Amino acid sequence: MSPPDRLGDPEKARDDKAESTSESIAVDSVSDDLFLDKDPVYQAKARILNEALQEIGMGRYQWQLFVVTGFGWMADNLWPIVTGLILPPVLKEFQFQGPLLKLGQNIGLLVGAAFWGVGSDIWGRKISFNITLLIVGLFSIVAGASPNFIALTTFAALWSVGVGGNLPVDSSIFLEFVPASHQYLLTVLSIWWAFGQLLGSLVAWPLIGNFSCPTTDPPSPCPRSSNQGWRWFLFTMGGLMMFLWAIRFFLFKLCESPKYLMGRGRDAEAVEVVHKVAKANGKVSHLTVERLKSAGALETARAVEGDLEVDSSAIAVLRRHLSKFSSGHVKSLFATRKLAYSTSLLIILWALIGLAFPLYNSFVTYYLDSRGADFGDGSVHITYRNQVILSVIGVPGALLAGWLVELPYLGRRGTLAISTVLTGAFILASTTARSSNALLGWNCGYSFTSNVMYGVLYALSPEVFPTKDRGTGNALTASANRIFGIMSPIIAIYADLTSDIPVFIAGAIFCAAGFIALLLPFEPRGHASI
């Protein structure tokens, strides 16, 4: 690949090459292909910051960030799985329609995704990063003492407000600190997502498996004293979230995103953060405030010469970002025809997967339990054992995704399309199962490919959005995901969880989403995000 492109004076660019890292990586931004001349001052400065981060390289600070942002990935998968894991014993104790619990949770996820995603573009990434896990931990611990399903559903909605903010915020934070040569790690971060499911299943197996009312036909009374497992499980998971929040808040000191600061016109603070990261990595950065400002001044001059109506002053940027109720962030994501097409397809993809994934995955524990009873080989122990097996299978899928997205001709789009179609195919095939082992086998295939799919999807979306609007872009896609997620329990109520209809619907939607992924107009592989 060619060395990093430079903006500004050609002679200055040649001199700067001597200071650049020796790693071979294309850091031409997606703006060349998608954003055209939209806000050229911002783009010029973003490229300078990309070069500075590449000069620093992947070091101690970014690896620590890989861990603490991974907590957010883990929470994002853990808590939707939590409601699925506790669903069988909760239904036995409270005797209510199971999808109502998922409905409450998905409403909370929608609120969290929209609020924290847009908010991170208004008040910065740091505040959102430092509070979301605290919300999850507090309300999940309280939920363990719920006296009825109304209280449990309410607390599930409240903890989900915190869960919904993790991915929109954490993906932006990680992407805005990682050098272009290691941008693929945003996909590898999905291993934490797989670990979230594995951790929840491992803890649920002994607690819920051994301290729950037995499965009987017809159902027998299930008093609270005989059904404490799901409560202890919520206490344990809530305590874990408090511990992870403490690590984030007290042990790791997050710097505000330099690209966010630059987008707000705070160039000096952005340069200061870059130097802090360089110091943490044992490196020295040659970035200066003057160089950053000169890049912006050059593009401003070019805009004037070209008679472009571009107001990129610090005051204009601040005014735009401080307008909390302005639609400016959303309009920027549809600024050009190609960008509008890309944003629209991503929203559709997230919406379809948001409907299909919870329609199947959130109820898979209940589905395994009911189908196991139909096959004559079901028990609480076998149900949660199988859930652990499915979770283990998902981990290598997340790792494989990080390798596949860097392959030529395949990249993000190809990997996303193939894995999504295969996910749907395995779900449809599971309806042919005539034993618990056969059902487990098909679900193992589904677990593997769905982890590949989500690993790519979570990385591709923030890579395409520009930094100054990335939080809003993530919020739009996450909100579409959560809105359609709200529809999944409604479908489950009317379709009947014990039938194969929700399974057929979920499989067909995944297959359709896979073909839509092929229509995405931009392949981020080999490009630095802006």
Q: Where are the domains of the chain?
A: 60-256+332-517
Q: How many residues does the chain have?
A: 530
More confident: 104 or 313: 104
d(CA 530, CA 527) in angstroms, rounded, equals 9
Mean pLDDT over residues 119-135, rounded?
87
Cβ–Cβ < 8 Å for 332, 312:
no
d(CA 223, CA 295) in angstroms, rounded, equals 69
Mean pLDDT over residues 206-234, rounded?
86
d(CA 157, CA 489) in angstroms, rounded, equals 14
Beta-carbon contacts of residue 75 (< 8 Å; ≥ 6 apart): 132, 133, 136, 162, 163, 166, 196, 241, 244
Q: What angle do CA 289, 290, 295 make, to 5 degrees?
A: 100
d(CA 249, CA 227) in angstroms, rounded, equals 35
Mean pLDDT over residues 50-69, rounded?
94
The region of weakest confidence among 52-61, 248-257, 411-420, 426-435 is 426-435
d(CA 152, CA 169) in angstroms, rounded, equals 27
Structure tokens belonging to residue 144: 């363990």
Tell me the pLDDT of the chain averaged across its residues. 80
Residue 166: predicted pLDDT: 85
Tens digit of pLDDT for each residue in 128-179?
899 999 999 999 999 999 999 999 999 999 999 999 888 778 888 998 899 9
d(CA 222, CA 232) in angstroms, rounded, equals 16
The region of weakest confidence among 32-36, 55-59, 463-467 is 32-36
Q: What fold characterizes domain 60-256+332-517? A: Growth Hormone; Chain: A; (1.20.1250)
Give the model's confidence band at 444: pLDDT under 50 very low, under 70 low, under 90 confident, else very high. Answer: very high
Residue 300: predicted pLDDT: 56
d(CA 310, CA 391) in angstroms, rounded, equals 50
pLDDT value at 276 more than 80:
yes
CB atoms within 10 A of CB 43: 24
pLDDT value at 403 more than 80:
yes
Task: Record the pTM.
Answer: 0.74
Mean pLDDT over residues 24-37, rounded?
43
- Alpha carbon 14 to chain centroid distance? 39
Give the model's confidence band at 31: pLDDT under 50 very low, under 70 low, under 90 confident, else very high. Answer: very low
d(CA 216, CA 220) in angstroms, rounded, equals 6
Q: According to the per-residue pLDDT averaged within each range, which of 115-129, 159-173, 429-443 is highest?
A: 159-173
Residue 297: predicted pLDDT: 65
Tens digit of pLDDT for each residue in 314-346?
444 445 444 433 566 688 888 888 888 888 999
Q: Answer whether the bond into residue 99 is a cis peptide, omega within 30°.
A: no
Dihedral sign for Cα atoms in the order 422, 448, 362, 156? negative
Give the model's confidence band at 23: pLDDT under 50 very low, under 70 low, under 90 confident, else very high. Answer: very low
Share of the chain above pLDDT 70, in %: 79
Nearest to 55 by CA among 95, 14, 18, 1: 18
Q: How would you classify residue 526: left for phi > 0, otherwise alpha for psi between -120 and 50, otherwise beta?
A: left
Q: How far apart are the first and last CA of the chain?
A: 19
- Per DSSP, the residues of 160-209 read HHHHTTHHHHHHHHHHTTS-GGGTTHHHHTHHHHHHHHHHHHHHHHHHHH
Residue 510: predicted pLDDT: 95
Mean pLDDT over residues 281-299, rounded?
83
Structure tokens belonging to residue 308: 């472009």
Mean pLDDT over residues 442-452, rounded?
90
Cβ–Cβ < 8 Å for 391, 191:
no
Structure tokens belonging to residue 156: 């599930």
Nearest to 424 by CA among 440, 445, 439, 403: 445
More confident: 180 or 271: 271
Mean pLDDT over residues 493-507, rounded?
75
Mean pLDDT over residues 452-475, rounded?
78
Residue 247: predicted pLDDT: 96
Cβ–Cβ < 8 Å for 6, 13:
yes
* DSSP category for residue 31: G
